[in-house]
Structure formats: structure tokens, C-alpha cells
Chains A and B, each alone.
Chain A
Amino acid sequence: DAKTTQPPSMDCAEGRAANLPCNHSTISGNEYVYWYRQIHSQGPQYIIHGLKNNETNEMASLIITEDRKSSTLILPHATLRDTAVYYCIVRPFSGTSYGKLTFGQGTILTVHP
């Protein structure tokens, strides 16, 4: 499975957009990009996923570069409750079923007042 590289930590001011980068230069054509976040001592929370098109939902936007070698998760208006570890993961799809999620170290996002 393709690996991802994320900065270990980032800071963001409350109310500003948080842009979290992820590098997945060895991604295969059948692998999706997933983003999760984990707040201390809780299970990971699904944020968004995509294959090659940009995606948006009520939580965030996912921007995937045209060559699919990197992506950015955008939290448009960060709040203090968005402080968490954010994981970027690539997940294979066989055509009929999705494969496993393998977590890396993630990015610790700290939103400050």
C-alpha cells in the first residue's frame, strides 16, 4: 500500500482556514485518499475521502492534485474543537471491495484562540 507523509504538527488561529498537506507520491490508480482525525482517547472520526476529484462535505474540503501525488485537507473555519491528530491515509479499492486502512503518524493540529 502507498505510504503518506504529513508534517508532524501545525498551528492555526481560531476562525482561520486550516490547510493540512499530505504527500502520497507512490499512490496507485486504485487507491483512494482518506482523512480521519482523532481527539485524545477517542476513536478516529471520518472526515472525507476522494479518488481524483475535489470533494467537499459539511466538515471539510479535500483538494487532490491532478497527478494525485499530494492532497490538502481544508477546514474552512477552524475552531478550538478541531484540535486533534489528523491522519491522511490511502486505501485500495479492488473494484468490488475496499481494503484496509493503515495509519501513519498523522499531523497534530493545534487551534489557538
Chain B
Amino acid sequence: GAVVSQHPSWVICKSGTSVKIECRSLDFQATTMFWYRQFPKQSLMLMATSNEGSKATYEQGVEKDKFLINHASLTLSTLTVTSAHPEDSSFYICSASYDTGELFFGEGSRLTVL
């Protein structure tokens, strides 16, 4: 299947700093990418939908000023967690969508805020 890559796979940062996570579709062009967050023993929660060249659409309850999403090209979307705090520690996962309907996920990025 298609490959979606995330970087970094894990990151530890101090409270108050910002962290950027990259999501790349390696072998196809993704017009739409989705960002999810997953806390331990819970299901994935959709944070936002990212369309190339336009502003992201955030789900209710997700702070757009805290979770900055940029989809600058058809193969790259980035999520920046600004002024991170311990409660932002989570597993962040991106996905990229084919026009034919398949949607593939990255390996996830585990963020730990101290």
C-alpha cells in the first residue's frame, strides 16, 4: 500500500516550547490530509482536516491557535504544537487520502511534554 511517513516518531520537549511534526506522502499526491490525536487506551480523535493550499478545518474543541496545521504541498503537511504543556502529551497520527478512497496512516509521533 501507499506510504505515509511521519517525523519525528517521538519527541520530548520542555513545557512552553513548540514542536513541529511532519507528515509526508511518499509515493502519491494527497490533496487531503487528516490529523488525529490518541491518548492511552483510547480511540483516535480527529483534530483537523488539511487541504493543500487552503486553511485547515478544525474539529470542535480543538484550538486552532495551539495546533497550527500547514499543508504547503501535495506531499507534506505539518502540525505545530505551540507552547506545549504536559496535557498535550499524546500520540499524534496523520493520514493522507487517495482520490480513489483509500486513506493511509503514518506511523505516529509520540509527544512527551515535561
Binding site for B on A (CB under 8 A): 32, 34, 36, 38, 41-46, 49, 87, 91, 93, 97-98, 100-106
Chain B residues in 8 Å Cβ range of A87:
43
Number of A-B contacts (CB under 8 A): 55
Chain B residue at minimum C-beta to C-beta distance from A87: B43
Looking at B6, B43, B99, which has the most chain A CB atoms within 10 Å of its CB?
Answer: B43
Binding site for A on B (CB under 8 A): 1, 4, 6, 32, 34, 36, 43-46, 49, 91, 93, 95, 97, 99, 101-108, 110
Chain B residues in 8 Å Cβ range of A36:
105
Chain B residues in 8 Å Cβ range of A97:
32, 99
Contact present for A45 and B43 (CB under 8 Å): no
Bound Cα distance from A104 to B110, whole angstroms: 21
Bound Cα distance from A113 to B101, whole angstroms: 35
Chain A residues in 8 Å Cβ range of B105:
36, 43-46
A98 and B95 in contact, given A42-B108, A104-B43 (Cβ under 8 angstroms): no
Contact present for A101 and B108 (CB under 8 Å): no
